[in-house]
Structure 1
């Protein structure tokens, strides 16, 4: 087999102006696959970027691994001048300020393209780069509410419910990364960079997918359905002798298999359950009949029986159980890296595999400004010049 490069993106340099989660989620895709990522931070540490307790330390290591860090004051003329020197040699700049901040700093796309026409400039915002909400502060839960996500999440009658993860932040980061990669591919033909931008609201709306289409095409307002699938039945959570399990018996064939496993063949010919729409209409009756049977055996017993019969099903695991699951262990989603202070720690690995290319060794998240001197030394600055800049508060 032909050997691939260990770092497929190592030819790219990314300047990282992001913080919190959405922007770093985009940049992480490049850091993981070998791009040189330089995280640019204020000489004074921002409170929301500074690791505090154990949870923040763990999150910081996962979010900012494989990066270099420099401390640079972009509000100082000399700091901005140094930044422009870095831009000349960069392929990508990523930022997730509020839309007007980059213009105030003079580091918006139109300004930077004068320095480097090949630059791909990427922005993630809460609601978009323009429009009536563009200057509002935008956070994950706000986007979840505005997109309709919280109106379809949770049990009927219990009020709106957020997702258990920052889904808007993470998907906005992924869409940003996809946009950057598209722009880099297009640059190979045009020789020109461009501005790529997305928002938490756009990403979350895209994630609404078929729920959004129920409104767009049919003018149907989706409602909460709890653990049940919104339109298909039986698909949901069912009690077992020792807990709960998921069953997804979509379509007539799989429904028939489920009934046979449950020893309830009578349900197949029951007039209430003959078709997919009927099973959705009489969901409560069907769920009750299934639950009466699933309570008789353990989760593991039912999973063995249903998998043998070809009925999609699975356990509902806590986080510790998830990482002990044999398939999760096989996929290698928990990756180990060596931290100089913490020793060997585990972080999340990438969720994509290649037949040849590999990501290379994982490196710990950098200390604040850890690479300031080495990065600027590459630009030709002497130790004396760096000391003078540090005294002026530039770095």
Structure 2
């Protein structure tokens, strides 16, 4: 069975999360991904822990399956020549050095296109290739702060709060994938590659979606609402008799059904609550009523009642509860991976379900420099050459 991106070769000169997560997705889809790592230290996330298993960090493992790893000193002339040799027969380069770094090395887009007209270079930075912040380093946490995301995250009376995962990095990885696939499609028509200028800041701003629109269109300065929704009610966390759940009433018909199964059908006829905009306006009156009703039953009871009524809801699971959910198992969201050092390695699965070219793990997250010799031989280096490259600290 063919793979969706079979025949596409990616040089992954990125590290940490946004770039590596992007290239892992492309690798999952069938692309050959060559991960270029610093010849002395490798990807920083190899040291980010605990937890570690046989020297491999959980953080590194989460974003690097379906790749080959080679070490390379890109500051050496021989290292640059090797990089160019790889680029000559590759489709995409993904890099997240500081703005202008690859250009200073003589490995930027303009240089690479001279040896490969179809090359696509995806450059991921904190703030992009122009603007007053272009030379600043970009970390997910800083982007969450500067993009406004933290100002709208947290409880009303509390302080700003970051999201529990590096969400700016993850979103940037996804936008970069979209850009790369678009550039590959464009190349089919023109034969030419192009450069993608992707910034964490841009991606996080774009992902503010309706909150950004509320400000741009309505002039409303968004504030923290905790677990409430700025435009919909009731749409938040509630406490059942034995724990917490989310009830997300998305329209007026759902609210009528909610009022019915909650035992207060008259709520749907109340002039304060008949329409969503009125429920949002009278949120302070509505929510205490909903809270008192939902406390009367357990999470599991409400789950069945609300599911049967077609009202979106769900318990607030811990990570262990989520991974033990039979639906998660049925969706194959845990991948079992053969690894040379870690017996029974499990990784979060891919959400991309393709009927004719399904995602599969062809390569476990590679050991540091595991494929250096193999890759060098493919571009014409002999065993003796490789030995000399090691002596000269090129690899």
TM over 0.5, shorter chain: yes
Measured at CA, do residues 361 and 157 of structure 1 come closer, stay the same or move farther in structure 2, by a change above 3 Å? Answer: closer
Report if the CA contact (8 A) 1:18-1:96 is conserved. yes
Report if the CA contact (8 A) 2:125-2:200 is conserved. yes
The structure 1 residue matched to 2:50, chosen from 53, 66, 69, is: 53
Q: Distance in 1 between matches of 2:111 and 2:157?
A: 51
Q: Which segments of 5 or more consecutive residues in structure 2 lack a partner in the other structure?
A: none
Q: Distance in 2 between matches of 1:195 and 1:220?
A: 36
In the TM superposition, residue 354 of structure 1 has moved relative to its aligned partner by: 1.2
Q: Which residue of 1 aligns with 2:4?
A: 8
Q: Distance in 2 between matches of 1:49 and 1:253?
A: 48
Secondary structure of the residue aligned to 1:117 is: coil
In the TM superposition, residue 232 of structure 1 has moved relative to its aligned partner by: 0.8
Q: Which residue of 1 aligns with 2:34?
A: 38
In the TM superposition, residue 40 of structure 1 has moved relative to its aligned partner by: 0.8
The structure 2 residue matched to 1:20, chosen from 4, 13, 16, is: 16
Q: Distance in 2 between matches of 1:277 and 1:152?
A: 21
In the TM superposition, residue 379 of structure 1 has moved relative to its aligned partner by: 1.6
Q: Report 1:177-326 matches (<5 A).
A: 177-326=177-326
Secondary structure of the residue aligned to 1:93 is: strand
Secondary structure of the residue aligned to 1:124 is: strand
In the TM superposition, residue 58 of structure 1 has moved relative to its aligned partner by: 1.6
Which stretch shows the higher mean deviation, 109-118 or 262-271? 262-271
Q: Distance in 2 between matches of 1:131 and 1:34?
A: 36
Write out per-residue CA displacement over residues 57-106 of structure 1, whole angstroms, 9 at most, x where no aligned residue.
Answer: 12212211111111111111111111111111111100011112112211
Secondary structure of the residue aligned to 2:134 is: coil
Report if the CA contact (8 A) 1:15-1:39 is conserved. yes
Q: Which residue of 2 aligns with 1:372?
A: 372
Which stretch shows the higher mean deviation, 236-245 or 58-67? 58-67
Secondary structure of the residue aligned to 2:236 is: strand
Report if the CA contact (8 A) 1:68-1:371 is conserved. yes
In the TM superposition, residue 46 of structure 1 has moved relative to its aligned partner by: 4.1
Secondary structure of the residue aligned to 1:64 is: coil
Q: Distance in 2 between matches of 1:158 and 1:204?
A: 22
Secondary structure of the residue aligned to 2:63 is: helix
Q: Distance in 2 between matches of 1:316 and 1:68?
A: 38
Q: Distance in 1 between matches of 2:369 and 2:361?
A: 22
Count of matched residue pairs? 391
Report if the CA contact (8 A) 1:45-1:368 is conserved. no
Q: Distance in 1 between matches of 2:305 and 2:43?
A: 52
Which stretch shows the higher mean deviation, 187-196 or 272-281? 272-281
Report if the CA contact (8 A) 1:176-1:197 is conserved. no
Q: Which residue of 1 aligns with 2:118?
A: 118
In the TM superposition, residue 250 of structure 1 has moved relative to its aligned partner by: 2.4
User: Which consecutive aligned stretches of 4+ in structure 1 deviate over 6 angstroms post-superposition?
Assistant: none
Q: Which residue of 1 aligns with 2:156?
A: 156
Q: Distance in 2 between matches of 1:144 and 1:50?
A: 24
In the TM superposition, residue 176 of structure 1 has moved relative to its aligned partner by: 0.6
Write out per-residue CA displacement over residues 251-284 of structure 1, whole angstroms, 9 at most, x where no aligned residue.
Answer: 2211111111111122122222122122112212
